[in-house]
Structure 1
Amino acid sequence: MTVVILQHTPGAGRPPARAIGAALEAAGLDVRVYGTGAGGLPDDLTGVDALVVTDGPEATCSAAGRDEGCAGRGLTLVRGALAAEVPVLGVCRGAQLLAVAAGGGAHPAPDVGAGRGPLGLTPAAASDPLFAGAPEQPQVPQMPSMTHLHGGSVELPPKAVVLAADHHRRTVQAFRIGASAWGLRFPLEADADSDADTDADTVDAEPWQEHVLARFAELVAARAEHTATRAFFTQRAGAWEDRFAYQTPAYEAAVARMELRRGQTALDLGCGTGRAMPALRAQVGSEGSVLGVDVTQAMLTAAARVGRTGAGQLLLADCTRLPLPSGSVHGIFAAGLLDHLPRPRAALREWARVSAADGTLLLFHPAGRAERAARHDRPLSPDDPLAEPNLRPVLDATGWQLAVYDDAAQHFLAHAVRTDIRLRTIATRVSVA
């Protein structure tokens, strides 16, 4: 799990974010630090599980981000992280940049000053993923260099949640945007370069700040399973339908093999832009139900834009933790999904849970395994979870029986039916006896 820290070039502002980096590394995260002044920022968020933006150039800009004070590439990365729900922590001026990226603004304040003291947590902090459990009045570290920075004002975007305010000035000091981004307008470590009495190697956060950093690290780790997926597909969602529209006939042919009946319920798991949904609707008819499930909001937005809501409903959800009653689904279509999940066995077990006794599962890809391996210039791996010797026993153990395995040149297809593991176990014991 990789956390990218964006900070101003050392020497021109605050020092490297030692306490932040140390806390994240202690939680087992790989920390990579980029100096915003050096022009060496990552091209995109591929492989990035979280983004931390620390002190840097004055973030004086509007929501349009066109004013000279805004760091363009840093702003682009933060906007991309917000869109893909990659966890973000903005500290000091990094909080200003976060506010701007989310549609707010940051402007210079006429009463520039500095002060120290307690922060007042709002009622919303009690249930916040990072602030819950923190002291009611967390203290800013009592070191001469540790000050609230009041050199600028922040205009929070709509729906931002205020978590803490300065008791004396009543200004917002901490806020959350959505469910994955936090802005802290105060530092989380001492500025060793500005304090001659401070040992640069012993700069630490205060206990309550360690609490916030530890909570952030836990959140990053808990969400890492889907962060990479969201980051990858969010930046590609806009062109996805046009790029792969030619595969629609292959999807239609695959769905036809499920032989669903009118009035039944069908799922398109990891639906992307929902290319299978019209074919599923044709099988279950107007009396049936079709649900397209994906973990990436941008993909569902693209699906709605191309009219997939006319074939069924779209649901933002984890495909391995479906918010559906047990036994409520008759057919599951999953294209290019199972081998990309970190825990395919758990996913298959969950799909069996929501499936009816006669439910059917179709694993599909519009290219065979050999073709895909050649496309990526690699040999077929014996550990491939879709290889029949690997797939069949996993299906057997999770409530499915493989009925058809077809790994052709132009497609991959595995058709399984729902079984009762307990009855099959009893039958096997009787047969052996």
Structure 2
Amino acid sequence: MNEMLIMTPGPTAVAENVRLARSQTTTNPDIDLDFYDFYKVTCEKFGKFLQTKNDVRILAGEGILGLEAACASLTEQGTRVLVLDNGIFGHGFADFVTMYGGEPLLLRSPETASFDLALLEEFLEKDHDFKYATVVHCDTPSGVLNDISKICPLLKKYDILTVVDSVAAMGGEPLAVDEWEIDIVLGGSQKVLSAPPGLTFLSISQAAYQAMENRKTPIASFYCNLLVFKDYFEKKWFPYTMPISDIYGLTQAIDNLLADKEIIKRHADIAEATRQAIEHSALQLHLKNGFSNTVTVINVPKETTAQAILKEMKEHYNVMITGSFDRLEGKVLRIGHMGENARASKVAYTLYALQQTLENQGVSLLSNLQDDFLKYYQKLTFDKK
């Protein structure tokens, strides 16, 4: 392959029609009323995609902006927040809560498995005096997937607002915002949407708006204040100049997803085939359960290092996967198969490059990763027809 194959768990490859959409002639988004209509229509498309009637907003900033904005808008001095912690990003929500004067309580569940629902239910029976709770849908550093279809309704049973980071899952995993009683769900342009980094999008329930409006103190931010977007269309006023080219691209990206009726199935089949090929080869998956369909995480074999593997794959095979960070740094490899990366040909070549690299570095595998992946993938797609 001449071009670098980017198989990281975001940013992902950008669809060609998204790149072209970003090249359109732009207007002045602050004063052109037609752009307010365009932005509104794009938000409504996201609402359809997220299966929600709640307001949707697009913010000018990478996905982390959405996480901080949710916490900034809901948190004031002394606000008790339940942080569901079974991963690096799950734990990280506590930093935003503390930053805005809140009091996070971290409820920990093993990091190599989906969040323990029985643990959560038992805890809530004893203590449920929280304004809101945070949970990560797919915790990207480990690839663990949490069952928000059960977690969020359980929290709402106790009148706890729900904030969900679905940046690495949205589009590649089922997501039904209204049915699952999610108050704020957050996504990012550079993951399954397959658009460039730089945009956050989120849905906001009426209950979340009410909590923001009924605060005792003003929101301690402007850029991270979700309320400033509440009536943008009626006022014909954005709080800052919107990145119009990025939004043109994002609109095309959401059109791509809405047109792709098999997108959830495609992610599920590719992820399952990848995991089966990995396990058959005697490489070790990092997780015990709760496998995401957007990223596969593999323990680094003892014969080599993450750095050596990543370097050789990039320099010799033009494939870029990634390691992880924080407490997983140097311990795992991550293959992103989300959005435009969730294509059988791309994953097959990535596994070929991985096998060649590992064997060059003294790691013996029991099977052929590429052949096994294609065999399992074909079986999955045939069986499900």
Which of the two has higher C-alpha Rg?
Answer: 1
Greater helix fraction, Structure 1 or Structure 2: 2
| Same fold, TM-score > 0.5, yes or no | no
Higher-RCO chain (CA-CA 8 Å, sequence separation at least 6): 2
Q: TM-score, normalised by structure 1?
A: 0.28
TM-score, normalised relative to structure 2:
0.30
